[in-house]
Amino acid sequence: MALQHASSGQVIQLQRDGEDASQFASIALAKTNDIELIRLVMPAGKGMPEHGVKGDITLQCLSGEIAFDAHGRTVTLRGGEMLFLQGGSLHALRAVSDSVALLTIVLRS
């Protein structure tokens, strides 16, 4: 069964009461020719190894703490903080504590 993406104007719930953030899960919320929105749930200690994407990205930490490695340094995002990264930049991330984040990728063809 194909993943149902949100439609234009539809409300998307980013945080859920009582959600168990100890299980890794990511879900594409919406995707167009220009952007993709992905909700990440990352348990403490879970990470993504160094990688890059073609398009610019933003990572918004909704809750928890996420260590983000890029440009030779590590920054820690906490709930309510976000970061921008230029497309093609190598980066890695890991959850310092159980975390929920919203990732936006600008798609380039």
Predicted confidence pLDDT, tens digits, the chain (109 residues): 445 677 766 666 666 666 565 565 788 889 999 999 999 999 999 999 999 999 999 999 999 999 999 999 999 999 999 999 999 999 999 999 999 999 999 997 5
Cα–Cα distance measured from residue 103 to residue 66, given in angstroms and rounded to the nearest whole number: 12
pLDDT, residue 17, reads 61
Contact present, 6 and 29 (Cβ < 8 Å) = yes
pLDDT, residue 25, reads 77
Contact present, 52 and 91 (Cβ < 8 Å) = yes
Q: What's the token pair of residue 72?
A: 């030779």
